[in-house]
Structure 1
């Protein structure tokens, strides 16, 4: 019996190797006990899931069982018989990628070390799967001959400009460091010279020019793979909004009331009412209230000066949304959760009525949801401000391009120690281990769309008027817009609700 098990494990490992999959130790035994292990691994390879864990196996197994009957939600998300809804909803929340109820950090040096090691190892694994690399540990580069071609992965520890105008990087792995030079005359790496930030994990193809120095010929990013846009057969719509800032004197209350009325089919033409009935999911990407004490002298700019009252008014609006629409809500830095990413869900004691509603789901930021087989990333967007400060060519007027940079890095945790903070959780919830089909972000108060390698990106509008800070910065928001997308063809519609 032991010999049969060993032979079966060998078959699994060989099959995984052919599919360029990495199998975690705890997953090998789980696979060996499943007669359909080959089908599961095929599905993971097709979905670009390169790191196979026990959780991923359970998830895929459940999805397969459901598919055999009729697609529905995972057990945690029991299909709901909401009023006016005849079909079973096909969605699930990927809880393993969300920090809510998993905040175990003590803020010790060991927690920070664990976080950075997790980030490095996860992104190195993705780089190995994404690119055909013959990687060497940095400590073994010293044994390479001068002018020999080398490939390795490192995290950026230091970056500076040399006297000759080249860019120099000090990269480290778990054991050693080396210097990488990006020549100003090397056009292949020109864009990367301005793009690379501290703590980025990158692969380098280059030539050894001295004992601890490499001349870069190419910089490789974890990135998402190029894919065709994945569509569904149903004529089904999702909507997204963000940054209501309920409680602020600048909250566009009348415009938001018009949006709620429109969702209920109480506004617009007959054609619009038919259109609205096709909306089955709504994503709300943070800064739901304006909060209290978020910035100096904010108290004087509040219309509602109690955090509980702000959430009570917010809850009133959300509960007016038809129960036939599944609503997913994540927090932002104005919400009553920690400012540092990853952010847990808004606590139940602040929005108890929303937790009681069957069609409303309170999640952390970032979070992942799967709808009709499409993987969706929800993130408020707080870290994007550090990208604008450190990567040239990005603009608040085109926020979608900054989200592309997150996908290129396959990571939401950028440089540690800049403006936006990160909590040193023992598990890294900021790495993008999945390849999203759709990404919805907020925070920047400016609408923006892009398609990047088969992934559709939406940066949401706001429901707050232009603030004094935005006027000072010269930033012009695009308020009062709801985004609606048809998952059948990825066509995007804007519905404007601004009241003069």
Structure 2
């Protein structure tokens, strides 16, 4: 094929994808061109993305390779099938993502966030405008949408600065309506929100503030398998504060004939299986096992006690030796070798979308909960043992796992933005903050799974009181979610 012919093929495939709402990178197109019938293959790829990767806009090489594995008959580890019930890993591994670090990448990242959340509002039947359109069309009152840039108190209320692709705008929120004032106090930089505003002498005055939120999840018929999914997090093997006795109680229970234990066929480890090294100030003084190798070897010894009927799915957290920026890939192969292949361990990225017999779980270690706590005035570490469920509800309602950008947790500016909560999960599970909590919001089960590590000196300095020795258990038939306490 001549270079001219290949160039025309690249343009043809790019135009075809664009006409259907997708953007193919040149590297992705070249992969398709190496196969027979690339046009037909592209059609199959787009159909697969629509069903398996909803919300994907930018098609990078990793997505294409995942698709090709499915049609070539390969089965990656994350697509194994349990012995008693089916499950499917819907998210990618995030192993092959890359960025250049350019200003343009960040501009596109925030533009995509704005556009996708705007679509959520429009699906709710809310007609939203840019503030510039109010002036152009002479509208006196309407819903406007923007990304929050600044919130500050002024003499008679609050000044909220929002941005959109057309400019920067200031909205005044007057005092007097306590409900409205509370909504303003919840606003964080980079959140995309809608405001009902009224034009008063060229000043935009807020009448209401709306988050993207989630619609009610339909109640599931009680016809699923009588199987339990157990979720734990923050074990911290290797820490001198790791409560091995309680964890062994949990493992003993998991292997027992007790009714709830015998029904448990899946165990999700939602981050921080090991304590890692150099994670927080003074950690070296609280390590019982000072090297990662020894920590994973000890973890392997513990995981051997898990019965064979249980499929273990391992999501990394901030203490694992993986990329700290979100999204995170699974742990590296050299550490997998130290863990061994207990029960066909399934390694996934963070966050992970997992479907258990059609029940959608969004499993996220929860690093960005720190960003939310430290950015606003509503939540604090000293009271998070009471407010953890409200914190998860807030994040869900923003429809983004990182509502505010770059306070503590590094994020990769990926145009596909896997931290968007594009779909509505049935279960939203987090860890990281070491507090056990659960609630139900519009049919979505919210759960934070506590920890197996006693309070560290660093946590004590923050006033954080951990919930030690807890596991969340959800039955796929009854949809009953409970937190089991050990010790």
Settle same-fold status: TM greater than 0.5: yes
On the 8 A contact 1:172/1:178 being kept in 2, the answer is yes
Match of 2:180 in 1: 189
Match of 1:126 in 2: 120
Question: Of 406, 409, 429, which residue of structure 1 is paired with 2:418?
Answer: 429
- Partner secondary structure for residue 252 of structure 2: helix
1:340-394 CA distances to partner (integer Å, 9 max, x unpaired)? 2222211121122557456321112111101111110111111112222334443
Cα distance in 2 for residues equivalent to 1:149 and 1:276: 57
Say whether residues 1:396 and 2:392 are aligned partners. no
Cα distance in 1 for residues equivalent to 2:76 and 2:221: 21
Match of 2:27 in 1: none
Question: Of 382, 395, 416, which residue of structure 1 is paired with 2:367?
Answer: 382
Say whether residues 1:407 and 2:396 are aligned partners. yes
Match of 2:144 in 1: 152
Matches within 5 A, 1:26-105: 77-80=79-82, 85=83, 87=84, 89-95=85-91, 98=92, 100-105=94-99
Question: Of 121, 130, 136, which residue of structure 2 is paired with 1:137?
Answer: 130
Say whether residues 1:464 and 2:469 are aligned partners. no
Cα distance in 1 for residues equivalent to 2:429 and 2:231: 8
On the 8 A contact 2:235/2:273 being kept in 1, the answer is yes
Cα distance in 2 for residues equivalent to 1:460 and 1:276: 17
Deviation (angstroms), 1:416: 2.0
Cα distance in 2 for residues equivalent to 1:50 and 1:361: 22
CA, structure 1 residues 328+192, in 2 after alignment: closer, same or farther (shift >3 Å)? same
On the 8 A contact 2:351/2:363 being kept in 1, the answer is yes
- Partner secondary structure for residue 474 of structure 2: strand
On the 8 A contact 2:217/2:424 being kept in 1, the answer is no
Matches within 5 A, 1:189-268: 189-211=180-202, 213-233=203-223, 234-265=225-256
Deviation (angstroms), 1:418: 1.5
Deviation (angstroms), 1:53: 7.0
Deviation (angstroms), 1:439: 1.2
Match of 1:5 in 2: none
On the 8 A contact 2:289/2:295 being kept in 1, the answer is yes
CA, structure 1 residues 136+393, in 2 after alignment: closer, same or farther (shift >3 Å)? closer
Structure 2 unaligned segments of length 5 or more: list them.
1-18, 25-38, 68-74
Match of 2:34 in 1: none
CA, structure 1 residues 105+392, in 2 after alignment: closer, same or farther (shift >3 Å)? same
On the 8 A contact 1:355/1:361 being kept in 2, the answer is no
Deviation (angstroms), 1:408: 0.5
Match of 2:11 in 1: none
Deviation (angstroms), 1:469: 2.1
Cα distance in 2 for residues equivalent to 1:476 and 1:486: 29
- Partner secondary structure for residue 318 of structure 2: coil
- Partner secondary structure for residue 229 of structure 1: coil
Matches within 5 A, 1:321-400: 321-352=306-337, 354=339, 356-357=341-342, 359-394=344-379, 395-397=383-385, 398-400=387-389
CA, structure 1 residues 79+475, in 2 after alignment: closer, same or farther (shift >3 Å)? closer
On the 8 A contact 2:78/2:346 being kept in 1, the answer is no
Match of 1:485 in 2: 474
Structure 1 unaligned segments of length 5 or more: list them.
1-21, 63-72
- Partner secondary structure for residue 218 of structure 1: strand
Cα distance in 1 for residues equivalent to 2:423 and 2:56: 11
CA, structure 1 residues 313+75, in 2 after alignment: closer, same or farther (shift >3 Å)? closer
On the 8 A contact 2:354/2:362 being kept in 1, the answer is yes
On the 8 A contact 2:217/2:426 being kept in 1, the answer is no
- Structure 1 stretch 385-394 or stretch 404-413: which is displaced more? 385-394
On the 8 A contact 2:435/2:467 being kept in 1, the answer is yes
- Partner secondary structure for residue 112 of structure 1: helix
Cα distance in 2 for residues equivalent to 1:370 and 1:464: 29
CA, structure 1 residues 229+194, in 2 after alignment: closer, same or farther (shift >3 Å)? farther
CA, structure 1 residues 494+408, in 2 after alignment: closer, same or farther (shift >3 Å)? closer
On the 8 A contact 1:319/1:354 being kept in 2, the answer is no
- Partner secondary structure for residue 349 of structure 1: helix
On the 8 A contact 1:134/1:151 being kept in 2, the answer is yes
Matches within 5 A, 1:10-29: 24=21
On the 8 A contact 2:325/2:412 being kept in 1, the answer is yes
Cα distance in 1 for residues equivalent to 2:472 and 2:215: 26
On the 8 A contact 1:169/1:180 being kept in 2, the answer is yes
| Count of aligned pairs between the two proteins | 435
